[in-house]
Amino acid sequence: MQRCVDYLKSIDPESSDLESNYEKRSAVERNFQLAIECAIDIGEIIISKEGLERPEDYRSVFRILGRHEIIPEEFAEKFAFSAGFRNILVHAYEEVDFDILRKLLAENLKDFDTFALYAAEYAERLAE
């Protein structure tokens, strides 16, 4: 997850070629997809380890973690948006809104760092 996020952090969200450069756009979209899928996988591992209810969809992975105070509920709701964006990247790739892509690059990459911090705190609690 971190490698993908580090790559995304290296991209200027205001870059004029983000929309027109196929390779750059493809790399950005793929790294977003992989980062989101890594977060979902981490969440599913925690849910399984804790014996929590089975998620109905990818968004509910984060909502379940929030309900069970593994991550703050407010953050869970905010981060659940990423699962919806993952679905657009995978299933509706012709409909990727470049304004949303730019906004995510500019404002939401720190959410992955925050999620990683909560996951690490969870792992530390298990180790105690």
Residue 112 parent element (H or E): helix 109-127
Q: What is the mean pLDDT of the chain?
A: 93
State the Rg of the chain over Cα: 15
Domain that holds residue 74: 2-127
Residue 31 is predicted with a pLDDT of 96
Give this prediction's pTM: 0.92
Q: Give 115's pLDDT tier (boundaries 50, 70, 90).
A: very high
Q: Per-residue pLDDT for 88 more than 90?
A: no
- Three-state secondary structure call for residue 13: coil
- The CATH number that applies at residue 46 is 1.20.120.580
Share of the chain above pLDDT 70, in %: 99
Q: Can you tell me the mean pLDDT for 4-14? A: 95
Q: What is the pLDDT of residue 62?
A: 97
Q: What's the per-residue H, E or C state across 71-104?
A: CCHHHHHHHHHHHHHHHHHHHCHHHCCHHHHHHH
Domains identified in the chain, total number? 1
